[in-house]
């Protein structure tokens, strides 16, 4: 278990180092997730130990939001001043996400159109 926990943190560290070295506009942990994903694809699956560590993280995921919640409460006055901009950004990004998802599903669904399974019987 310690090995896989270290592996996850090492991928995050590698992502942070790549971000800093290449001055990328993507967060280091996201780059680390891509590195971990590439490793899992190369391996051909998820090892049981890594799955257990991932499940433990997911089981305690709510604890990871405590610092963000504290930050929100710390800056509640600033959030109140920018409420309209924040609301517009949230609504706009939600609508854009729905639109992009619909377009992707429409594009991907074209290959299946008109194809039916033939069954013998």
Q: What is the pLDDT of residue 117?
A: 60
- Write down the domain spans for the chain: 1-59, 66-109
- Residues 6+ positions from 93 with CB-CB distance below 8 Å: none
Q: What is the pLDDT of residue 64?
A: 82
**By the 8 A CB rule, do 39 and 24 touch?**
no
Helix-then-strand count for the chain, H and E: 6, 0
Please give the model's pTM, rounded to 2 decimal places: 0.59
**By the 8 A CB rule, do 9 and 26 touch?**
no
Encode pLDDT of 56-111 as tens digits. 989 998 888 888 889 889 989 998 999 999 999 999 999 999 999 999 999 998 86
């Amino acid at each position: 278990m310690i090995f896989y926990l270290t592996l996850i943190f090492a991928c995050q560290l590698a992502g942070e180092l790549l971000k800093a070295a290449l001055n990328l506009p993507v967060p280091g942990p996201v780059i680390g997730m891509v590195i971990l994903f590439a490793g899992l694809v190369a391996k051909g699956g998820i090892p049981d130990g890594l799955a257990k560590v991932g499940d433990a993280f997911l089981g305690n995921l709510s604890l990871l939001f405590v610092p963000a919640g504290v930050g929100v409460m710390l800056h509640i006055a600033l959030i109140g001043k920018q409420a309209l901009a924040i609301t517009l950004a949230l609504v706009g990004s939600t609508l854009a996400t729905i639109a992009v998802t619909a377009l992707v599903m429409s594009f991907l669904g074209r290959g299946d159109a008109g194809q039916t399974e033939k069954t013998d019987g």
